[in-house]
Structure 1
Amino acid sequence: MDRLLPSASVLTLLILSFFSEVNSASFKLVNKCRYEVWPGVLSGANTAPLSPTGFALKPGKSRTLSVPKAWSGRIWARTLCTEYSPTNFSCVTGDCGSGKIECAGSGAKPPATLAEFTLNGADGLDFYDVSLVDGYNLPMLVVPRGGTRGGCSATGCLVDLNGKCPRALRVAREGEVGRVACRSACEAFGDPQFCCSEAYATPDTCQPSVFSLFFKHACPRAYSYAYDDKTSTYTCASADYIIIFCPLPYTRYNYYYMLHIYCDVLFNFSGTKFYMG
């Protein structure tokens, strides 16, 4: 009987490996920007960290991460990064402060566009959103694939907001004129009314501001302030996700129409060619 133990152990490991793969999801990160970005990944509390937690992604390239089904956390893109040495790495936007390409448990310094996920939550649904609550640094689109339940809708912000950012929220690179990010009103002013804190820490007392409405009007599906849940949180079950940095802009076209077009082009559902006027 003792001679059977090694074989049984191997069989157990194979079974566990099989179920681990069945119960995992994938995040495909795609860089459609004209410049290099450095995605960062932060896992939530009591959630296994993903690997890697940061890496470089050149224009036109993609990378797929395997994600446990019960994972929660956020993903973003750092821009204008420089590696002075292996222990001296920093980015102008979205920097995680680790001093290295990997964020190693650190989150994005605002302002940064965030993709947020809670997988296999209530009723076995994934909850996901694209958030501008911490400000904005580039366009982002999240597209679920192969979902079995829930709305499974694409969401995100397809617009480059940096050029239209209100003066009080603009972030420019030191010594340069161009704008590289757009801060939230909370970060810019620290006012509890904009931060949904202190006396404004409930859905009843914290209302949209003129600054959050700037984000909401431009990107109606993205989170614009802390209690913007009803129009900004989406669900899907048993899906994989594509996270696209700098997706096709919608220019003068309707936002939802462009989401439909972009998903058709991305997955070749219809084979129709679309021409942008």
Structure 2
Amino acid sequence: MDRRHLSSTFVFLLFLSFFSEVNSASFKIVNRCRHKIWPGLLSGANTPQLPTTGFLLNPGKSRTVTIPRSWSGRLWGRTLCGLDSTRKFVCLSGDCGSGQVECSGSGAKPPATLAEFTLNGAGGLDFYDVSLVDGYNLPMLIVAKGGKGGNCSATGCLLDLNGACPSELRVARKDGGGVGCRSACEAFGDPQYCCSGAFGTPDVCRPSTYSLFFKRACPRAYSYAYDDTTSTYTCASADYVIIFCPPPYSSQKLFGERKDGAVLPLVNKSMIYISSVHANGASLSGLLRVQFTVSAASFAMALFLFWQHIFPL
């Protein structure tokens, strides 16, 4: 009798393990930055928090997190973190205010580049995007692997925008180095930039000069609240790789060789603007005067073509 009980228990646990694998996705989070980052994860409303909500990721390292198929939430990177005078854990960019490495249900303080997911949504599709609506702090790329529905296109913002950020949006360290680029909504609080109040519908709230700065550099990323048609991507039953600071590859021969069906490129080859280096940051007029070279843009875009070569660590 005891032996039969043990056997049935084993079969039940095996079933639970198989069921869990089938009903979960994996997020492989990769740090290709030259510095440490502390990824943070926040579950959406009515979605349980994940077993981990924040951790350290050293340069060149990765960590895979198992995500329930019904999950929705966001992921971002924190930088320049450490203990303050009261022994609380704080970060100069992307801080979640928990006072510890785990964010424990707290979100990122803007500005922060966000990866947003709704898994197994309408029609069984995953919906995902990279959003600059809350500003920008790190380059980020999302790649879907093994999906069997939707367009499963890569999306993200592959360029470092901190140096080119308009001075009125720029967040800097005491030594002057840029750590983030705020959204116009956060910087000015104006309803026309926040798509609030009288500007609370897509017919009235239109792209601003500031949101176009983000959109021209990163065509697939969300640049303002109603940027849905060019910035939301779908896939079914996929696993995802989220790469911070995707590295440049310089093969011009293979640039543009692979098509993924997305309307917009990951990088706008001819309309990416960069400013001269100034101690107080870039001005918007300066951004509109100096074009980034096509070859530099191709370095970043080529990563998408070779993502499979950089995931193994």
Q: Same fold (TM over 0.5)?
A: yes
CA contact (8 A) 2:158 2:301 kept: no
Residue 172 of structure 1: aligned partner? 172
CA distance in 2, matches of 1:218, 1:39: 24
The SS at the match of 1:226 is: coil
CA distance in 2, matches of 1:266, 1:119: 22
CA contact (8 A) 1:154 1:259 kept: no
Residue 274 of structure 1: aligned partner? none
* TM-score of the superposed pair, with normalisation by structure 2: 0.80
| 1:248-259 aligned within 5 A | 248-249=247-248, 252-253=293-294
CA offsets 1:225-259 (integer angstroms, 9 cap, x no match): 00000000000011111100011357734899667
CA distance in 2, matches of 1:45, 1:254: 43
| 1:17-32 aligned within 5 A | 17-32=17-32
Matched-pair identity in %: 67
Distance 1:165-1:88 versus aligned 2 partners, 3 A rule: same
Residue 203 of structure 1: aligned partner? 202
CA offsets 1:131-163 (integer angstroms, 9 cap, x no match): 000000010000111111111000000111111
What are the ranges of 5 or more consecutive residues in structure 1 without an aligned counterpart?
A: 270-277
Distance 1:50-1:212 versus aligned 2 partners, 3 A rule: same
Residue 123 of structure 2: aligned partner? 123
* TM-score of the superposed pair, with normalisation by structure 1: 0.90
CA distance in 2, matches of 1:216, 1:101: 32
The SS at the match of 1:144 is: strand
Residue 261 of structure 1: aligned partner? 302
Q: RMSD across aligned C-alpha pairs, in angstroms?
A: 2.2
CA offsets 1:41-61 (integer angstroms, 9 cap, x no match): 001112122121101111111
Residue 141 of structure 2: aligned partner? 141
Aligned residues: 268
| 1:209-248 aligned within 5 A | 209-248=208-247
Distance 1:75-1:189 versus aligned 2 partners, 3 A rule: same
What are the ranges of 5 or more consecutive residues in structure 2 without an aligned counterpart?
A: 249-266, 268-291
Distance 1:232-1:57 versus aligned 2 partners, 3 A rule: same
Residue 35 of structure 1: aligned partner? 35
1:22 CA drift (Å):
1.4
CA contact (8 A) 2:97 2:103 kept: yes
1:14 CA drift (Å):
2.1
The SS at the match of 2:54 is: coil
CA distance in 2, matches of 1:219, 1:130: 10
Match for 2:100: what amino acid? K
CA distance in 1, matches of 2:46, 2:3: 39
CA offsets 1:100-159 (integer angstroms, 9 cap, x no match): 000000000000000000001011100000000000001000011111111100000011
